């Protein structure tokens, strides 16, 4: 059985960027998250509409000529509050990408990195902070993103598409933690719990645009909402610190917490 990969998150909500910080969160709560951010041993980034400007599964669907059909399946799943795994399965069943198609797509498509992410990841690496890509999408499409950002392959947590011996679509690996969401035992919460247990990180931060990112804290010590590509109002309301520009996060790393105590 051949294993390969591809990204998946909810369909994008129309972009309407206004401010860099959420207006509804008390300032002291935001400052608490900022302090955690500056102390992080590890930072986990979502990929679709966060590290990258687009949604990988939508781009692949368009390449395969089934973009509108997949969008319809996504809307139906969201309206019915479908389980993440079921919604993913439904979209892939429409697409049924074979191994050759997926490889061709990866070879001709350059990741559309969000402005400022290269500099932010570079700054985190310079500080000795471990950076992870944690996605409900698929590893094969995320590997080129990690390469551009200098992130080790072992620090990608994502899903795997399965192919039969002829290279035809054969489902996806449901044993991956990221293949489902909705509880602390699966999805991004489970990945962060695993990282803490495996590497003994004291402080882990999750950064992302979606509900599956927000649900990662806890066990993440903080969640930072990102709206630089898509603003999801429900996520914005839940985030104690919400930004629309990665430069805000990068510049905040220069803050001297010791001066606050004087």
Contact 55, 49 (CB under 8 A): yes
Q: How confident is the model at residue 109 (pLDDT cuts 50, 70, 90)?
A: very high
Using alpha carbons, list the distances in angstroms from residue 213 to 33, 65, 118, 217. Answer: 15, 29, 20, 8
Q: Residues with Cβ < 8 Å from 170, sequence gap 6 or more?
A: 1, 162, 163, 164
The CB density around residue 167, as the number of other CB atoms within 10 Å, is 15
Flag whether pLDDT at 121 surpasses 50: yes
Domains by residue range for the chain, with CATH: 27-54+111-253 (3.40.50.1000)
Reported as a single tens digit per residue, the pLDDT across 184-202 is 888 999 999 999 999 999 9
Q: What is the mean pLDDT of residues 91-111?
A: 94
pLDDT band for position 81 (cuts 50, 70, 90): low
Residue 163: phi and psi, rounded to 5, are: -125, 150
CA 159, CA 178: separation in Å to the nearest integer? 6
Catalytic residue selected from 32, 41, 48, 261 = 48
**Predicted confidence (pLDDT) per residue in 61-77, tens digit:** 999 999 999 988 877 66
pLDDT at site 97: 94
Which of 98-107, 177-186, 239-248 is the least confident region?
177-186
The most confident of the ranges 10-19, 83-92, 149-158 is 149-158
For residue 162 the two structure tokens come to 């399965």
Of 46, 209, 213, 245, which is the active-site residue? 46
Least Cα distance to 44 among 162, 174, 215 occurs for 215
pLDDT band at residue 260 using 50, 70 and 90 as cut-offs: low
Instruction: Give the residues across from 205 on adjacent strands.
Output: 43, 222
Strand-strand pairing, 161-163 and 169-172: antiparallel
State residue 184's pLDDT score: 84
Whether 7 shows a pLDDT value over 60: the answer reads no
Mean pLDDT over each residue of the chain, to the nearest integer: 86
Strand partners, 224: 207, 241
pLDDT > 70: percent of the chain: 84
Mean pLDDT of 125-143: 95
What DSSP element (H or E) covers 161?
strand 161-163
Q: In whole angstroms, give the CA distance from residue 207 to residue 135.
A: 11
| H or E segment and range at residue 255 | none
Residues 6+ apart with CB under 8 A from 184: 190, 193, 218, 219
| Residue 28: other Cβ atoms inside 10 A | 8
Cα gap 227→17, rounded to integer Å: 7
Sole residue written with tokens 């049924």: 96
Active site residue 86: no
Q: Is residue 9 pLDDT above 80, yes or no?
A: no
Active site residue 48: yes
pLDDT above 90 as % of the chain: 67
Assign 79 a pLDDT band (cuts: 50, 70, 90): low
């Amino acid at each position: 059985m051949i294993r390969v990969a591809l990204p998946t998150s909810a369909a994008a909500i129309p972009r309407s960027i206004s401010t860099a910080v959420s207006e509804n969160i008390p300032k002291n709560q935001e400052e608490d998250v900022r302090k955690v951010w500056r102390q992080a041993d590890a930072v986990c980034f979502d990929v679709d509409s966060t590290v990258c400007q687009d949604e990988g599964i939508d781009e692949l669907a368009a390449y395969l000529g089934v973009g509108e059909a997949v969008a319809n399946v996504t809307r139906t799943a969201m309206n019915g509050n479908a389980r993440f795994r079921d919604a993913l399965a439904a979209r892939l069943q429409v697409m049924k990408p074979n191994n050759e198609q997926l490889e061709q797509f990866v070879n001709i498509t350059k990741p559309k990195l969000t402005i400022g992410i290269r500099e932010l990841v570079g700054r985190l690496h310079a500080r000795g902070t471990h950076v992870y890509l944690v996605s409900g999408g698929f590893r094969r499409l995320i590997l080129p993103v990690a390469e551009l950002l200098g992130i080790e392959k072992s620090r990608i947590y994502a899903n795997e598409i399965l192919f039969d011996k002829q290279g035809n679509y054969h489902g996806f690996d449901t044993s991956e933690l990221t293949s489902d969401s909705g509880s602390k035992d699966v999805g991004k919460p489970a990945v962060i719990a695993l990282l803490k247990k495996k590497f003994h990180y004291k402080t882990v931060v999750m950064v992302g645009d979606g509900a599956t990112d927000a649900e990662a804290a806890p066990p993440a010590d903080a969640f930072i909402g990102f709206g630089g590509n898509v603003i999801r109002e429900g996520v914005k309301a839940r985030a104690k610190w919400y930004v629309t520009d990665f430069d805000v996060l990068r510049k905040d790393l220069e803050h001297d917490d010791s001066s606050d105590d004087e």
